[in-house]
Amino acid sequence: MIRFDSVTKTYPGQARPALNDIGVEILRGEFVFLVGASGSGKSSFLRLILKEEKPSKGAIHVLGQDLGSISTRKVPYFRRDLGVVFQDFRLLPNKSVYENVAFTLRVIGKSRGYVQSAVPETLKLVGLDGKGKRMPHELSGGEQQRVAIARAIVNKPQILLADEPTGNLDPVTSAGIMTLLERINAIGTTVVMATHEAGIVDQMRRRVIELSAGDIVRDERSAGYDGQTVRDVEVVPHREPGKPDESGASGEPESASEPDDSETPAAAPVVTAAAPKVTPEVMRDAEPLYVEPEATDAVTDAAAEITAAATGTIQVDPEQLKPKTTGGAAASEHLTLAERLGLRAPGGPREGDDDQEVGPTK
């Protein structure tokens, strides 16, 4: 379903690769956690799957397609089979919950009838039944992430990529989001999620791929956040190039072929584990907030109540009624539609891109 063959990604101007000769395969229906310290390459891994970035070396196959052979014109079609969720939700601030979810379907040319049945069904699935008319700023963070998840899955993608989806949420709300992702996985979607949340990973016991400075250092089934290894905070002492350290070892690279990267994290403490916010206890005690797809209306109502109780009352201050997005409304005005939807990284079209960003080319 997703295969990396000897993939190296080195960003322009960087001596050290963000991902270094990665070989890994993720099968249909798996739920995979990507863990690792900040800067270890998790987001790069997800961006490569989305074809937001190209590998510097190696090949990536997703859903049977060699990404290197998909033209930029065809990328929007390829991405229809992928749903993406981010830490900062990335909702369209001036559209209602319903319109945020419907938008994905409209740009790919789904019929009005399809939209009218798929959107309420998906909102029900994520526990937001009855909240379609709300605007994003009238929702709690957990509810906004549910809208983002609804938008990502409304087109029934085969793969859901989630980059720190609980990063901005409190522990209880995070646990609810995880039960939802678990449910989405149970109905057949392959989920790949980058996270720093040890409690979530420890409780869910799924496959864990751990990255460290661009290398896969662990790939275990039914694993926890820390694996078998001791993962205390590791501090690597800084050494000036050419200057021996206390043990007398030279500060020169061991081999002449090793890159001389002045931005190497060796100059700063290397934190190998983040402090857990969501504890195993919170995960264990979490109310399941998702709704079974075949649920009756009574069940849906109960789930909506649980969601409302878990996310709390929202005090809306007139100041807050102004559209909010990460980076502010002013910043969002300068983003293209595809960028705001997360279908393309902010920064505008790059060399080799075509004009078509989302939706049919005709």
Residues of this chain that interact with ligand ATP (CB under 6 A) are 11, 14, 18, 36, 38-44
Instruction: Identify which of residues 244 and 253 has a Cβ nearer to ligand ATP in the complex.
Output: 253
Cβ 311 vs Cβ 143: under 8 Å: yes
Q: What three-state secondary structure class fits 102?
A: helix
Give which of 51, 54, 45, 47 is closest to 26, Cα–Cα.
45
The enclosing H or E element of 277 equals none
Report, in Å, the least distance between residue 75 CB and ligand ATP.
18
Report, in Å, the least distance between residue 165 CB and ligand ATP.
13
Instruction: Identify which of residues 48 and 139 has a Cβ nearer to ligand ATP in the complex.
Output: 48
Instruction: Identify which of residues 41 and 142 has a Cβ nearer to ligand ATP in the complex.
Output: 41
Paired tokens of 79: 């991405």
Instruction: Identify which of residues 120 and 265 has a Cβ nearer to ligand ATP in the complex.
Output: 265
> What residue ranges in the chain does DSSP mark as E strands?
2-9, 19-26, 31-35, 57-62, 65-66, 82-86, 159-163, 190-194, 207-212, 215-220
Report, in Å, the least distance between residue 72 CB and ligand ATP.
18
Report, in Å, the least distance between residue 39 CB and ligand ATP.
4
Q: Phi/psi at 99 (nearest 5 deg)?
A: -70, -35
Report, in Å, the least distance between residue 14 CB and ligand ATP.
5
What span, in angstroms and rounded, lies between the C-alpha atoms of 68 and 43? 19
| Residue 182, C-beta contacts closer than 8 angstroms, at least 6 positions apart | 31, 204, 290
3-class SS shares of the chain: helix, strand, coil, % to 5: 35, 15, 50
Instruction: Identify which of residues 38 and 116 has a Cβ nearer to ligand ATP in the complex.
Output: 38
Paired tokens of 180: 């939802």
Instruction: Provide Rg for the chain, Cα atoms.
Output: 22
Instruction: Identify which of residues 39 and 120 has a Cβ nearer to ligand ATP in the complex.
Output: 39
Report, in Å, the least distance between residue 219 CB and ligand ATP.
16
